Amino acid sequence: MDKRRVVVTGLGIITPLGVGVTPSWENLVQGKSGIGKITLFDASHFQTQIAGEVEGFNPEEYIEIKEIKKMDRFIHFAIAATKMALDDSSLKITGSNAEKVGVIIGSGIGGLYAIEHYHSVLLEKGPRKISPFFIPMLIINLASGQVSIKFGAKGPNSALTTACATGSHSIGDAFKIIQRGDADAMIAGGTEAVITPLGVAGFNAMKALSTRNNEPEKASRPFDVDRDGFVMGEGAGIVILESLESAMERGSKIYAEIVGYGMSADAYHITTPSPGGEGAARCMAIALRDGGVNPAEVDYINAHGTSTKHGDELESSAIKMVFGAHAYKIAISSTKSMIGHLLGAAGGVEATLTILSVYNDIVLPTINLDNPDPECDINLDYVPRKARKMTVSYALSNSFGFGGTNACLLFKKFT
């Protein structure tokens, strides 16, 4: 059976630079930073006191008041971003199509807010004071579950947890479900909300976070020699994928076509990428092969680019391994420089931004790239500081997670 073509018809994002696609995109194009002092809890005694918090988000605009308390913040984000994406696509889920519309929304960690809160309740007030909604608040598949319940999607329903690759794996798996004919449309992406005392303390214990507390907006600096770790962010990124037939039948706007999906494992270390970035390189190569695309056709890569020493160096090596001389002609940028690392939501948000780059022919910048690190190859084009207008026909979005799990998505300008 011929593989069905799959297109993107709706987008919804919540980031530290805006609630919604328009404010987030406009601020990113302007090269603004969404990183600031942590306000969600008192971080004054923590090594890291900065993060990319979502501001101005009101769950009451998307969820019934009585339901809000039954859900963790990461689920609030997922529902809100899904509503945005469905509204954007004008996809109506009805009795006639519900069984052919599915949901895959993942999270790297899940309901850490709920876990911390109810652990305190247990210690202070005893087991009888634990909410009956505690478990449904925290388990990761309840983002997909609550979305399917609220919007009536009865098709394939799943949830992935692959650390920082979660959002990309979710979109990739949804792509394959439509491609083989098991659904006509999928709601897919990632969501995360773990800027909590335990979350920050845990990453601090790993020495993974930036401690540039006096200059929050300059703390996330991928590929820069002065980077000192990543900056945590929160939010969600959701896309509506549809078969081309479904989208054309509805007369829907089409942002881009998704043509390739790569997966690989480093099989090396729980946090450090494999030597030379070979696992990431295999993943990119698989995505290109899946899409039948020559490496020389790729115009842009939205890099994983976390602002960690080994991660940035090895991703740079992986790109050169896959693209050879063409690597120096590709625009490469890390949007984490502006919004931080959204962990399980990163792949969903960054896929959305990559799609918008293809649609708008604008490549977002890597801000704070003041002193490029020679170990990342200063001759690669990291689009420093300012967005760039250019034709983007093919673009890759990279996501690499703890445990050595890798995901790459390949998007094409729709014609």
For the chain, give every domain's residue range: 7-250, 261-412
Residue 9 has what pLDDT?
98
- Fold (CATH) for 261-412: Peroxisomal Thiolase; Chain A, domain 1 (3.40.47)
Burial class (CB in 10 A: 0-12, 13-18, 19+), 310: middle
* CATH architecture of the domain with residue range 7-250: 3-Layer(aba) Sandwich (3.40)
Residue 1 has what pLDDT?
60
The reply to whether 7-250 and 261-412 are identical in fold is yes
Q: CA nearest 180: which of 404, 362, 2, 376?
A: 2
Three-state secondary structure call for residue 296: helix
pLDDT digit string (tens) for the chain, length 415 residues: 689 999 999 999 999 999 999 999 999 999 999 999 999 999 999 999 999 999 999 999 999 999 999 999 999 999 999 999 999 999 999 999 999 999 999 999 999 999 999 999 999 999 999 999 999 999 999 999 999 999 999 999 999 999 999 999 999 999 999 999 999 999 999 999 999 999 999 999 999 999 999 999 999 999 999 999 999 999 999 999 999 999 999 999 999 999 999 999 999 999 999 999 999 999 999 999 999 999 999 999 999 999 999 999 999 999 999 999 999 999 999 999 999 999 999 999 999 999 999 999 999 999 999 999 999 999 999 999 999 999 999 999 999 999 999 999 999 999 9
Evaluated on CA atoms 270, 272, 277, 280, the torsion sign reads positive
Active site residues: 164, 304, 341
Burial profile 112-139: b = 16 or more Cβ within 10 angstroms, e = fewer: bbbbbbbeeeeeeeeeeeeeebbebbbb
Cβ–Cβ under 8 Å, residues 70 and 133: yes
Region class of 233: left (phi > 0), else alpha (psi between -120 and 50), else beta: beta
Token duo for residue 391: 């034709």
Instruction: Say how far apart CA 235 and CA 342 lie, in whole Å.
Output: 7
Burial class (CB in 10 A: 0-12, 13-18, 19+), 205: exposed
Q: How far apart are the first and last CA of the chain?
A: 23
Instruction: Say how far apart CA 393 and CA 379 lie, in whole Å.
Output: 22
Cβ–Cβ under 8 Å, residues 287 and 409: yes
Antiparallel, parallel or unpaired: β 405-412 and 394-401: antiparallel
Residue 2 has what pLDDT?
81
